[in-house]
Every structure is written in structure tokens, then in C-alpha cells.
Amino acid sequence: MSELNHEQAKQALLREADGLLDAEQAAGLQRHLAGCADCRHEQAELRGLEESLRETFREHSQSRAMPPLARGRVLAGGAALSRVTREQRMILAAAMLALVLLAWTVGVGVWAGWPPDQALRIDKTRPATQPSSVPTLAVMAPSPTPTFEPLVMDGQEKAVIMGRLIVATPGPKDG
């Protein structure tokens, strides 16, 4: 039987790691390793990586607690129902996120008291008793250097933010 060369031995090391060597091939690899420090180093590295992977996964597994089984739901074919409710929860969460972001950006803009020529137009001269005059949508960039250009066109308030046109539903026209 011919002896393994260096390259064949490296391939054999990988096959050994995956349990794909038969007894004869394993013996051939051992003979090569006995005389080759380079391949022994390679083997040590490979085994180190494998052990590190196992440790990492063990730690991950231990850090992930299993939620209780909703047995009735599984038995009643409730998995489909669970999918729907999860989808609904995700949509709700996305909507909430959008609202929070919107409220935050508006809040920051108003609080900062931006000049009207930089902010999306919110007419502060209107009496506070006319809540309907407040635009239902206003988007402001929180950065001190606004990246949008406000426009008032066709009675609608619009702003271009990062190349996108944002349209605010306007309140009633001033008399």
C-alpha cells in the first residue's frame, strides 16, 4: 500500500473529522502523522476548532430556555392558529414601531423649535383649540442638518426625505 503524501493526508484529516475514514485509511493517516509535524499541527488546529464549536453550541443551548409546550394547541391542530396570531403580533409590533418612531421624530423636531423654513410646515399660529388644523402626519429628521427640503404644494404639505416624497395630510386651510 502506498503511503499518503502531504496533500492526501490533509484531505484524510478532514475525512477523519467527519467519520468517513475506514480502518485502513485511518492507519495510513496515522503513519503519515507519525512522521509529519506539519500535519500534526493541522490536526491539532482542526480538533481545536471542532471543540470550540461544540463548546460554543453547548453554551448557546444552555442559554436558551425551552418555553412550555402548548399541548392542547398542537393536538388541536392549533399550530396554524398560532402562526396567524404571531403574524398579527408582528404586524402590530411593526405598526407600533412606526408610530413610536414617528412620534419621536416629530417630538424632537417640535422640541428643537426648528425654523419653519427647515421643518415640515406646522402652522403654530392657529389656535390650539383647533386640533383639526394640525397635520395628521409630520416627519422630521432628528439630525441637526436636515436632509429634506420642505414643500407646500397644492394645499398639501410635502417633504423630500432622502430622495423620498413624504406627504402630510393637511389641516383645513387658513381662512
Partner 1 sequence: METAVLIAQCLAGDQDAIATFVEQSYPVVFRLAVSILDDPAEAGEAAQEALWAAVSRLGQFRGEAALTTWLYTLTLNVCRGRLRKLRARQRLHELLAGMLSLERSAPAVEETVIAHEGRRKLWAAVQALGEKQRLPVILRYYHNMPVGEIAQILGINEGTVHSRLNTARARLKAALTGGESQPGGWNYE
Q: Give yes or no for residue 160 binding partner 1 (CB under 8 A).
A: no
Binding range to Zn ion, per CB under 5 A, among 29-37, 57-65, 83-91, 122-130: 29-37
Q: Give yes or no for residue 36 binding Zn ion (CB under 5 A).
A: yes
Among positions 2, 24, 61, 153, the unique one binding partner 1 when judged by CB under 8 A? 61
Q: Give yes or no for residue 46 binding partner 1 (CB under 8 A).
A: yes
**CB 49 within 8 Å of CB 58:** no
Range list of H helices, the chain: 6-17, 23-35, 37-62, 71-75, 79-111
Terminal Cα-to-Cα distance of the chain (whole angstroms): 101
Q: Give yes or no for residue 98 binding partner 1 (CB under 8 A).
A: yes
53 binds, among Zn ion, partner 1, none (CB under 5 to 8 A by kind): partner 1
CA angle 109, 110, 114 (to 5 degrees): 70
Task: Show the site string, 108-137: x = touches partner 1 by CB under 8 A, - = not.
Answer: ------------------------------
Among positions 99, 101, 103, 137, the unique one binding partner 1 when judged by CB under 8 A? 101
CA angle 127, 131, 135 (to 5 degrees): 105
Assigned C-alpha cell, 55: 463548546
Q: Give yes or no for residue 6 binding partner 1 (CB under 8 A).
A: no
